[in-house]
Chains A and B, each alone.
Chain A
Amino acid sequence: MQSLLIEKLKTDVLVIGAGAGGMMAAISAADHGADVMLCEKGNARRSGGITAGNDHFFCYIPEIHGKGARESFIHSIITDSLIDADIACKYIDLSYDVLRKWESWGITLKTDGHYEFTGHGWPGSSGKMGEPGKTDREYIHFSDAELCPKLERQVRQRGVSVMNRIMMTRLLKNPDGAIIGAIGISTREPILFVIGAKSVVLNTGAVSGTRLYPSTYLKSYSMAEPGTGDGDVMAFKAGAALQNAEFCYRQTGLRFGPWAGRGTWVGVLRDADGKPIAPPYLSAPDPEIGDPAVENPDAIDHVWTAGKGPVWMDARGISRENEKYMRWGFESEALQPFLNWIDSENIDFGTNRFEFTVFQPRTNIQMRIDANFQTSVTGLYAILRSGISRSAVGGLVSGKAAALYSQDIESPATDDFQATIQETKQSYEDMLNRKGERYAEWREAQWAIWQIMHCYALPPKRTENSLMAGYNQLLRLRDRSHKILKARNQHELYHCLEVLNLMDISELVLLAVNERKESRSQARRLDYPFTNPMLDKFLVVMKKQGKPVFSWESPKRLDLSANE
């Protein structure tokens, strides 16, 4: 009989999930005097969206962009999606603070001594050399594949306790409703961790599109991408408000290949007839802007519906200098293996085009937070995933807020939670002790989630009837999974707990998509094909009496009359 050993730990600020956001939160909390513990499901040294670096850093630099540009930066975030204006302002106003800290820590953000604003831009925009007054682009193009280890070094230098290979699974709250810690498991050894903490910062990242929907071409690259909404589910169960489950992001990239670096390609997306597929309809590759069409999944869909597919990324005719530039950009996006593959297969950019497709939708589900990144649960903070710069700002703000909050809090008493701890321990041991073919492996459950979401919830083919069919099937799946999922070791146990989280996420996505009776941005449905301006609001969901309950809240607007 397998059983779990209980290990009890204590800290002031518990950060769950490393990456840019979690590590900045740990650094920020430690800098404000807190005792900090960072728990990471994998290894903090290579974690989150920055495992191999990352190519673009969103940054507002007053000396380069000018004071007047601040408003256009704010507008570009706000018109992109529903977001609270005060949080959008934090992202913009603190991005330069993050940039300077990172540079002081040895992270290379400059190119040849200047900030290079290339990629993710439009014709007519400027800024390759980052010259003051002549730059209006928002993203700094950089290449530093050691970004993640450099941040990790800063974390360790501050005495933060870095606990790798730990999946946190459940938050603990005292009777007054404030966070007092969390429970988790080792992904390798038979240990159940009970961590007492005065505050918790969640940075478990976005739910990977590849975990909710199968790839459009039979088999996904991996069944185990780490983004499984662990933090969102823990927060929801602890009574926190969540939002944006009904929205999604549809990324584009290489068909069958590694998907990163779409903003780094120096080429033009063209249909089978060679026509550029979307605005700005580039006639030739442009190394300063890339091709904005890569951000247009609807255009790729349209090409196929119109019978003009496939869509090809065409970098033919770029100069050797531009190819070198593109390869430099790829290196920082884990695309060195792709470059190795191209070179070993003798495929060159000069005479070959590469197919681009749209990937699985990635739900935008996130915790509802205030401008200090605190959720609706006292002592619980959360960083929203939306690019490395914004994650880092979230970490900077939430780490400080959590540290200051923790100063006035008593040491947490996790021993009062014996019943919860024992119940959790028992449920995990049950999974470890199920043997034989009458029980199911986690991969069966992952396939079942894929089936339900693909068949009933894939945008835009959603209707109330399809969503409810999916929802009912999901409830049956979840009920059965709780009874028959088995794990042969801690590694399989962590995957079982992930798929159970994914089922909870799927439930919220299905219900939220159904609740928003309109089409808006990528939240599309066939039975309500138009946008309803009365729904210019967040759809918020909270657990009430054990069930998800929805409400609508207006985003905080910009106060244009206020002085800066």
Chain B
Amino acid sequence: MPPVINNDKCIKCGNCVDVCPVDVYFDSDPDETPVVTYGEDCYFCASCFLECPTEAIFLRFPLYGQPSYLPDL
């Protein structure tokens, strides 16, 4: 589901867990890489993405969230 955290880049600062408006990372351990408990509730506000000091978060567009586009032939 949307937030994908790179374990190698994550410094366990907990910023993402603190700021998510809908607590997608609910119940994460403060000393571990956060877990995405309620990923289906992510609405792409990008708060965690902006607060991460090491750019460890990638917001994956789920399969039902791929913008539709029309390429030139």
List residues of chain A with CB under 8 Å of any chain B CB: 41-43, 45-47, 51-52, 145-146, 164-165, 187-188, 210, 217-219, 221-226, 254-258, 310, 312, 316, 334, 336-338, 340-341, 347, 351-355, 491
Contacts and interface: CB of A to CB of B under 8 A. Distances in A.
A354 B59 CA distance: 20
B65 interface: yes
A46 B50 contact: yes
Contacts of B21: 41-43, 46-47, 51, 226
A42 B23 contact: yes
B11 interface: no
Contact of B71 (A187, A188, A352): A352
Nearest to A53: B50
Contacts of B23: 42, 165, 187-188, 491
Given A51-B45, A337-B44, A337-B49, 18 more contacts: A43-B18, A46-B20, A46-B50, A164-B18, A218-B64, A221-B65, A254-B68, A257-B65, A310-B70, A334-B45, A336-B49, A341-B67, A351-B71, A352-B70, A354-B67, A354-B68, A491-B26, A491-B38
Interface string B39-64: 01111111101110000001101001
B73 to A, nearest CB: 10
B43 A221 contact: yes
A249 B19 CA distance: 28
A355 B70 contact: yes
B22 A42 contact: yes
B67 A355 contact: yes
A353 B44 contact: no
Nearest to B48: A46
Nearest to B68: A355
B59 A337 contact: yes
A336 B61 CA distance: 12
A226 B47 CA distance: 14
B72 A221 contact: no
Given A165-B23, A226-B21, A338 B67 contact: yes
B6 to A, nearest CB: 14
B38 A224 contact: yes
23 contacts: A43-B20, A45-B19, A46-B21, A46-B47, A46-B51, A165-B23, A217-B64, A219-B64, A224-B43, A225-B43, A256-B64, A256-B68, A258-B67, A334-B45, A334-B46, A337-B49, A338-B67, A347-B71, A352-B70, A353-B70, A354-B68, A354-B70, A355-B68
A52 B46 contact: yes
